[in-house]
């Protein structure tokens, strides 16, 4: 026993000192391998294809011609007059960009306004009841997105529940036009993405030390001041995360604007689909996809900077 | 908010001397019940109490006795189920915490983690919408008062526990409240820091002239710091008085037991007149005893005597005879654990005045002499 223990360090020590580290590195790689394979096959690969396609010529019946062209990128914002080749701003695209950004921001604000009180309510319940409330929040996910969107459609269409009710009660004479408006898009997206706001907000508020709220209230702060000066700064990571989680999918929303916006109230997602479908302009579709990606990355950069600022502030 | 500020011009330190004897807090038969029906818990049961202006008052009791509930009622975090709370003669029971000229030092300090030390201290004044210059001036004043000037710009997680404690104090004192409530503020500190903060608190109370209501379960802390204290148990106040009164003349067994070490004896009352009585102890021997005011001593009673009021003498020479069983050496004194004739244990604490004195050997019979006036009749 004693001799083996004395012997071992002499013979086995040098390789042992390096081995665990090498072993750990190898294990890390092995563990990451599925993710690496998955991401290269289904994320990086397709992205490279999209980048490639955005620099090719459009085929007459869809697809691409293997010739270099910047026409796809060119068409994102500009259009060439068919008669005299003068350049014009692509108004339709600008309108769609603007609508996407505007409605996504509006959706994010609405989700914040609805999600914050909800998350606060859940976080302030007795601990054993919180899971039940969180469970209720996730119930909409049990059904398919398309079905939920059609349910909204059923509520707000001209002969839908709301309009029939209002007319039945004699409050309005004619159905209110809600479907195929920005209102319908915002309503639909707010409904779909609200849980994505509630969950991160809940996680932040749940960690909040409510004695700080009492302390501020004791130090003459009004309820509004407590919210603004104590609660909001301390739950800001949840606010930012929730906003990002709502804003990004809203920006690329496809199903909701398709069903509730009709053909005329397109958002970026629908515009991209149009180029790959009826538009038969794959390079433009690819370029639009990358534009959307760029918008998302800008949003993420803002997010990271806000987090870093929050961390250094407090 | 501003209305409140002008209605209650809070006393500033320099007014302290003139404010002596002003009305403090009156608690009038306040009851607090948590929950309803079967789960109802009576945290406070018709508690009445008067805390004078500018005194250092302590609420002392074991955990769950209702002392923190009483503090939270004064702060406004809880509403009383019944009864009235008055501050300076005005009912404040219905006001929310942000409209009471009362500030709290929390057990956990509850410093705002996203603000600097100085921002924490200035928060109350800022909320009172005081001019910026005044806020800065007071923050400087408070930083000096708690000796934290050099750490004004630090974040609260970059300072030690003792320093956090000082910031919590400064933050609560900055708006010059009429009353400062302290909820076991020293319990998180180690022994040495706690001792330091005890004298610091006394100094601050003296310098600011603000009424301090201090909650603790540490009887030593209560005795050394308070002008007066209230002993609480199970939602009731058992006794209110100066530390000296409470220590030497406890009224109830719980008070005598909770504060300091005590020997309990059973005795029969031979005669009683006003505050004094003669007792025959069940172990034999007659002693004089003091009786709490308003109590007529008769029949079989429990009496208490502190170990330091018992002295050892030769057998037959003292008030009682006993056998020495064991002794414990404590450095400054020695505890002699004795047994009386009726089998009741009694401890004597004797100061080790002579370094080379030979202690009495265990097992020997001894006499015990009780200091005059030291035996106290208790109401059970």
ipTM of the complex: 0.81
Q: Confidence band (pLDDT; 50, 70, 90) for A313?
A: low
* Predicted structure pTM score: 0.79
Gap from A219 CA to chain B (nearest CA, Å) = 5
CB atoms within 10 A of CB B364: 9
Instruction: Say yes or no to pLDDT of A7 above 80.
Output: no
pLDDT the model gives residue A79: 83
pLDDT at A90 over 80: yes
Rg of chain A in Å (alpha carbons): 27
What is the C-alpha end-to-end distance of chain A, expressed in Å? Answer: 56
Higher-pLDDT residue of A255, B8: A255
Q: For residue B124, what is the nearest residue in chain A, using CA coordinates?
A: A219
A120-124, A151-155, B15-19, B193-197: least confidently modelled range: B15-19
Reported as a single tens digit per residue, the pLDDT across A200-210 is 999 999 999 99
Residue A230 near chain B (CB below 8 Å): yes
Mean per-residue pLDDT, B14-42:
77
- pLDDT confidence of residue B93: 87
Whether residues B96 and A217 touch (CB distance < 8 A) is answered with: yes
Residue A13 pLDDT exceeds 90: no
Q: CB B106 to CB A233 under 8 A? A: no
Q: Is B77 in Cβ contact with A219 (below 8 Å)?
A: no
Q: How far is CA A255 from the centre of its chain?
A: 14
CA atoms within 13 A on the CB side of B162: 14
| Residue B270 to residue B71: CA distance in whole angstroms | 44
Q: How confident is the model at residue A141 (pLDDT cuts 50, 70, 90)?
A: confident
pLDDT confidence of B18, banded at 50, 70, 90?
A: very low
Confidence label for A121 from pLDDT (cuts 50, 70 and 90): very high
Classified as helix, coil or strand, B235 is coil
In DSSP terms, which residues pair with B47 in a beta bridge? Answer: B30
Residue in A213, A215, A230 to test binding to B, most B beta-carbons within 10 Å: A215
Residue pair B173/B142 in contact (Cβ under 8 Å)? The answer is yes
A55-64, B13-22, B207-216: which has the minimum mean pLDDT?
B13-22
Q: Between A and B, how many CB-CB pairs are < 8 A? A: 66
Quick one: pLDDT at residue A303? 76
Confidence at residue A310, expressed as pLDDT on a 0 to 100 scale: 61
Alpha helix positions (H), B226-269: 243-248, 253-258
Whose structure tokens read 């923050």? B139
Q: DSSP string covering B327-364, please? A: EEE-SSEEEEEEEETTS-EEEEEEE--STTPPPPPTT-
Q: What is the per-residue pLDDT for B297?
A: 80
pLDDT band at A17 (very low <50, low <70, confident <90, very high): low
pLDDT at A279: 87
User: Is the pLDDT confidence value at A51 over 60?
Assistant: yes
Q: Min CA distance, B212 vs chain A (Å)?
A: 16
The model's confidence at residue A18, banded by pLDDT at 50, 70 and 90, is low
B351 pLDDT higher than 80: yes
Q: What is residue A41's DSSP assignment?
A: I
Strand B376-378, strand B211-216: pairing: unpaired
Question: Looking at A57-66, A266-275, B110-119, B242-251, which range is the least confident one?
Answer: A57-66
Mean pLDDT of A70-82: 85
Which chain A residues are within 8 Å of B106, Cβ to Cβ? 211, 214-215
| pLDDT beyond 60 at A114 | yes
- Using the beta-carbon criterion (under 8 Å), do A211 and B104 form an inter-chain contact? no
Looking at chain B, the whole-number percentage of residues with pLDDT higher than 70 is 94
pLDDT of residue A261: 86
Average pLDDT score over residue span B35-41: 87
Residue B180 reports pLDDT greater than 80: yes
Q: Is residue A78 very low, low, confident or very high in pLDDT (cuts 50, 70, 90)? A: confident
Spatial distance between the Cα atoms of B267 and B283, rounded to a whole number of angstroms = 8
Strand, helix or coil for residue A245: helix
pLDDT tens sequence across B65-78: 999 999 999 999 99
User: Which residues of A fall within a CB distance of 8 Å from B77?
Assistant: 214, 217-218
pLDDT digits (tens, 9 = 90+) for B243-261: 999 999 999 999 999 998 9
Mean model confidence pLDDT for chain B = 89
Q: Using one digit for the tens of pLDDT, what is the confidence trace for B281-312?
A: 888 888 889 998 877 788 899 999 999 999 98
Asked whether residue A52 carries a pLDDT value surpassing 90, the answer given is: yes
pLDDT band, residue A118 (cuts 50/70/90): very high
**HSE-up of B308 (CA within 13 Å, CB side)?**
8
Residue of chain B minimizing CA distance to A209: B110
Per-residue model confidence as pLDDT tens digits over B89-147: 999 988 999 999 999 999 999 999 999 999 999 999 999 999 999 999 999 999 998 88
Is some CB atom of chain B closer than 8 A to the CB atom of A121?
no
Q: Which residues contact A228 (CB under 8 A, 6 or more apart)?
A: none
| Chain A partners within 8 Å of B6 (Cβ) | none
A232 touches chain B (CB under 8 A): no
Which of B110, B172, B175 is nearest residue A214 as measured by Cβ atoms? B110
pLDDT tens for B170-179 read 999 999 999 9
Is B13's pLDDT higher than 70? no
pLDDT category of residue A14 using cuts at 50, 70 and 90: low
Other C-beta atoms closer than 10 Å to the C-beta of B294 total 8
Residue A314 clears pLDDT 80, i.e. is over it: no
Judge whether A221 is closer than 8 Å to chain B, CB to CB.
yes
pLDDT at B10 over 50: no
Q: Is A10 on the interface with B (CB under 8 A)?
A: no
- The token duo for A58 is 């459009």
Average pLDDT, chain A: 87
Instruction: Tell me how far apart the alpha carbons of residues A217 and B351 are, in angstroms, rounded to a whole number.
Output: 51
Is residue B118 within 8 A of residue B174, CB to CB? The reply is: no
- Asked if pLDDT for residue A2 goes beyond 90, the answer is no
pLDDT at A109: 95
What does the pLDDT read at residue B347? 93
Q: Kindly report, residue by residue over A180-197, the tens digit of the pLDDT.
A: 889 999 999 999 999 999
Which residues, 6 or more positions from A269, have their beta carbon under 8 angstroms from its beta carbon?
Answer: A252, A253, A254, A257, A258, A292
For residue B30, pLDDT beyond 50: yes
Mean pLDDT for the stretch of residues B187-193? 85
């Amino acid at each position: 026993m004693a001799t083996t223990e004395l012997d071992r360090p002499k013979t086995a020590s040098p390789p042992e000192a390096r081995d665990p580290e090498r072993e750990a590195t190898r294990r890390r790689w092995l563990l990451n391998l599925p993710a690496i394979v998955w991401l290269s096959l289904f994320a990086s690969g397709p992205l490279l294809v999209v980048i490639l396609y955005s620099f090719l010529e459009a085929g007459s019946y869809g697809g691409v011609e293997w010739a270099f062209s910047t026409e796809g990128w060119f068409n994102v914002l500009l259009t060439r007059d068919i008669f005299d080749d003068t350049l014009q701003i692509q108004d339709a695209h600008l309108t769609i960009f603007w609508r996407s950004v505007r409605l996504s921001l509006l959706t994010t604000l609405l989700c914040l306004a609805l999600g914050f009180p909800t998350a606060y309510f859940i976080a302030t319940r007795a601990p054993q009841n919180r899971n039940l409330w969180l469970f209720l929040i996730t119930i909409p996910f049990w059904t398919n997105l398309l079905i939920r969107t059609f349910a909204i459609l059923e509520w707000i269409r001209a002969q839908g529940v709301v309009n029939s009710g209002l007319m039945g009660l004699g409050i309005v004479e004619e159905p209110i036009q809600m479907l195929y408006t920005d209102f319908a898009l915002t309503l639909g997206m707010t409904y779909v993405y609200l849980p994505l706001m509630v969950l991160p907000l809940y996680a932040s508020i749940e960690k909040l030390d409510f004695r700080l709220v009492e302390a501020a209230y004791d130090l003459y702060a009004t309820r509004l001041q407590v919210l603004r000066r104590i609660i909001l700064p301390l739950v800001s990571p949840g606010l930012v995360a929730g906003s990002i989680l709502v804003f990004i999918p809203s920006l690329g929303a496809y199903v909701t604007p398709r069903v509730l916006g009709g053909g005329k109230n397109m958002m970026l997602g629908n515009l991209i689909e149009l180029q790959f479908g009826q538009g038969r302009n794959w390079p433009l579709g690819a370029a639009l996809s990358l534009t959307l990606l760029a918008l998302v990355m800008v949003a993420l950069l803002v997010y990271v900077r806000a987090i870093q600022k929050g961390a250094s502030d407090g | 908010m501003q209305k409140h500020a002008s209605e209650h011009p809070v006393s500033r330190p320099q007014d302290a001397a003139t404010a002596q004897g002003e009305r403090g807090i009156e608690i009038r038969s306040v009851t607090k019940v948590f929950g309803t029906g079967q789960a109802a818990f009576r945290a406070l049961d018709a508690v009445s109490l008067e805390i004078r202006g500018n005194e250092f008052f302590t609420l002392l009791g074991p955990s769950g006795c209702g002392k923190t509930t009483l503090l939270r009622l004064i702060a406004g975090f809880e509403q009383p189920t019944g009864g009235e709370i008055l501050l300076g003669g005005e009912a404040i029971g219905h006001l929310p915490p942000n409209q009471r000229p009362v500030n709290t030092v929390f057990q956990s300090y509850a410093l705002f983690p996203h603000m600097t030390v100085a921002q924490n201290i200035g928060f109350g004044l800022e909320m009172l919408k005081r001019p910026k210059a005044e806020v800065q001036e007071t923050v400087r004043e408070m930083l000096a008062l708690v000796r934290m000037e050099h750490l004004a710009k630090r974040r609260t997680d970059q300072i030690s526990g003792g320093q956090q404690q000082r910031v919590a104090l400064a933050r609560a004192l900055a708006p010059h409240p009429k009353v400062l409530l302290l909820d076991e503020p020293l319990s998180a500190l180690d022994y040495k820091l706690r001792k330091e903060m005890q004298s610091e608190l006394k100094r601050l109370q003296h310098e600011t002239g603000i009424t301090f209501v201090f909650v603790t379960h540490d009887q030593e802390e209560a005795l050394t710091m308070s002008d007066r204290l209230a002993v609480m148990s199970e939602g009731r106040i058992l006794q209110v008085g100066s530390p000296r009164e409470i220590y030497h003349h406890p009224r109830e067994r719980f008070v005598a037991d909770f504060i300091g070490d005590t020997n309990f004896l059973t005795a029969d009352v031979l005669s009683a007149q006003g505050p004094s009585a003669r007792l025959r102890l069940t172990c034999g021997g007659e002693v004089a005893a003091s009786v709490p005011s308003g109590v007529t001593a008769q029949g079989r009673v429990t009496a208490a005597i502190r170990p330091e009021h018992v002295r050892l003498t030769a057998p037959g020479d003292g008030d009682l005879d006993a056998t020495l069983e064991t002794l414990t050496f404590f450095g400054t004194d020695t505890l002699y654990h004795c047994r009386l004739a009726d089998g009741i244990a009694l401890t004597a604490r004797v100061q080790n005045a002579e370094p080379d004195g030979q202690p009495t050997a265990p097992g020997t019979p001894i006499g015990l002499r009780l200091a005059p006036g030291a035996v106290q009749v208790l109401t059970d």
